[in-house]
Amino acid sequence: MIGDGTLSIFNAPTASEACGAALQGYAALRKTIPSLNARRSAEDRPTTDVSVGLHVGEVFYGNIGSPADSISRWWAAL
């Protein structure tokens, strides 16, 4: 279950390439956090941090809600 979070799926020809893309995305995200937090601090707003989990294999994901809004699929996961 994901609470306040995001699930990102990186599709690539190989698991190694998908892992590389995911890690590059994480590195880019980590670079933006200090400037975001500086702006938020200057506005007396709470700062944030990012935690990342990386999974390789199959995953089942979907939305919890009405059948009209539900999207569930099996994917080769990263």
Q: Average per-residue pLDDT in the chain?
A: 79
pLDDT by residue (tens digit) across 56-75? 777 776 666 666 655 555 44
Q: How many domains does the chain have?
A: 1
58 in Cβ contact with 46 (< 8 Å): no
Residue 8 lies in a domain: no
With beta carbons less than 8 A apart as the criterion, state whether 15 and 78 touch: yes
Nearest 10 degrees: Cα torsion 34, 39, 45, 52: -30
Domain presence at residue 40: yes
The answer to whether residue 1 sits within a structural domain is no
21: in domain: yes
pTM equals: 0.63
Does residue 67 sit within a domain? yes
What is the domain extent for residue 30?
15-77
Residue 73 covered by a domain? yes
Q: 54 in a domain, yes or no? A: yes
Question: Is 62 within a domain?
Answer: yes
